[in-house]
A and B are shown apart, each in its own frame.
Chain A
């Protein structure tokens, strides 16, 4: 059984650019959630995907968007990057209806200059 994997591990972008982060779910999990974790803070929920559709969203602007693919892998896209977008982006997988039991990947560290 493989765990949640994310790529890339680190990324440096400049303000105004666009970025795509990728996540592969743990085997057997059909739901993917994305979180933003600023330094020294707890993760903040961005959105969740189930059956390739958004299934819940936190307080993030529309320039944060996502995709889920038939194999349950997922992408997080962020347009028009801002300096405050610098953070660790975490992906977590779970089974539908068990959102509290989420398994996190190691994250992608994004730095926006």
Chain B
């Protein structure tokens, strides 16, 4: 069922460094690509999202880069902080049947 592949599975970054998480999708019907952040014991929270007609979107320290021809997109977290330590999920949404497909997640640890 997985149509969105996410890497790496886990990532350790020093405080102040850049965290990069990559995703690739297969279905060209996807038209909305959100990223979610999930802390232990909590539901996922929407972080930032992009549509395929835009190649980059930035919100504060978070940037999505989108490559439509390669069917890939990535999340960059600048100046990573210990409070960013969480699991990050990329997702792709199709308007055809309203489902959202999630990647398997990346567990980010930012060391102080």
Binds B, one of A14-22, A36-44, A63-71, A75-83: A36-44
**Contact flag A42-B49 (CB < 8 Å), given A90-B44, A101-B34:** no
Residues 82-113 (chain A) with a chain B CB within 8 angstroms: 90, 92, 97, 99-107
Q: Does A24 sit at the interface, judged by CB under 8 A?
A: no
Among B1, B42, B97, contact of A44 (Cβ-Cβ < 8 Å): B1
Interface flags for B28-50 (1: CB within 8 Å of A; 0: not) read: 00001110100001111110010
Q: Does B13 sit at the interface, judged by CB under 8 A?
A: no
Q: How near does chain B come to A24, taking the closest CB pair, in angstroms? A: 13
Q: How far, in whole Å, are A105 and B105 apart by their CA atoms in the complex? A: 18
Among A43, A45, A48, A100, contact of B44 (Cβ-Cβ < 8 Å): A43
| Candidate in B33, B97, B104 with the most chain A CB atoms within 10 angstroms | B97
Chain B residues with Cβ below 8 Å from A103 are 46
Among B43, B45, B93, B103, contact of A100 (Cβ-Cβ < 8 Å): B93
Asked if A106 and B43 sit within 8 Å, CB to CB, the answer is yes
Chain A residues with Cβ below 8 Å from B102 are 35, 42-44
Asked if B100 and A41 sit within 8 Å, CB to CB, the answer is no
Interface size of B as a range: 20 to 34
Interface size of A as a range: 20 to 34
Asked if B32 and A100 sit within 8 Å, CB to CB, the answer is yes
Q: How near does chain A come to B101, taking the closest CB pair, in angstroms? A: 7
Q: Does A28 sit at the interface, judged by CB under 8 A?
A: no
Write 26 A-B pairs (CB below 8 A) sorted by A numbering. Answer: A31-B98, A33-B98, A40-B104, A41-B105, A42-B2, A42-B6, A42-B89, A42-B102, A42-B103, A43-B102, A44-B1, A44-B102, A55-B98, A57-B97, A58-B1, A97-B95, A99-B32, A100-B32, A100-B34, A100-B91, A100-B93, A101-B49, A102-B100, A103-B46, A104-B44, A107-B43
Known: A43-B102, A44-B102, A45-B101. 12 other contacts (CB 8 A): A33-B98, A33-B100, A42-B2, A42-B89, A42-B102, A55-B98, A56-B98, A90-B44, A99-B100, A100-B49, A101-B34, A104-B44
